Amino acid sequence: MGKTQIGPTTLVYPMPTTLVGADVDGKPNFLAIAWCGIACSQPPMLSVALQPRRYTLRGIKQNMAFSVNVPSVDLVKEADYCGIRSGDKVDKVGVCNFRVFYGNVEGAPLIEQCPVNLACRVVQMLELGSHWLIVGRIEETHVSDDCLTDGRPDVDKVRPFIFIPGPPAHYQAFGDVIARAFSVGLEMER
């Protein structure tokens, strides 16, 4: 099987589509970000990568807090819009009709319509180059009641989606379950 080098590039599948929120000058704003990863289990932490020019980053620095909201496929237009326009120019909350609520993390606005909402406090900021990597401690996780099954988050009800860089860049839904984790691999030992 042949391989082609396409130059060093950020090609990992899948990346999520998240809406990262912060209060900027006291008003909630949200930015669509695919570059979000989990960083630690205990304490729970995640990372998001933003360009330093981002309006949202101004708010993150003001409060040293931010949110990560996971939209469902129903919100694909709104999510994409939050990746096209800047909060410096438009009121994204108004245009998208987001109902914003807060937990106990000041400066971390949460979107009611998004099934999963994480409120985070900044732990570290790494200036890496074109992007800053913000590591946040997850202080709260909120899940919409209608996305729970037996009290636990149910991905079939959350219906998140994938960002594919393309070209053409696009969004994909989740597909079929293919295997049980921490289980199917045991077949390798048979």
User: What is the footprint of a copy of itself within residues 164-183 (CB under 8 A)?
Assistant: 164, 166-183
Q: Which whole-number Å values give the CA distances from 67 to 11, 29, 60, 137, 169, in the listed order? A: 25, 10, 9, 10, 24
CA distance 89 to 72: 25
Residues 66, 78, 98, 108: which binds a copy of itself (CB under 8 A)? 78
Interaction mask 126-145, a copy of itself, x per CB under 8 A:
x-xxxx-x-x-xxxxxxxxx
Query: According to the binding rule CB under 8 A, does residue 86 interact with a copy of itself?
Result: no
Minimum CB separation of residue 25 from a copy of itself in Å reads 23
Element at 83 (helix H, strand E) = helix 76-84
Minimum CB separation of residue 106 from a copy of itself in Å reads 16
Binding to a copy of itself (CB under 8 A) within 27-66 occurs at 34-47, 49
Sign for the pseudo-dihedral over CA of 52, 90, 121, 158: negative
Residues 6 or more apart whose Cβ sits within 8 Å of residue 89 = none
Candidates 21-29, 54-62, 109-117: pick the segment binding a copy of itself (CB under 8 A): 109-117
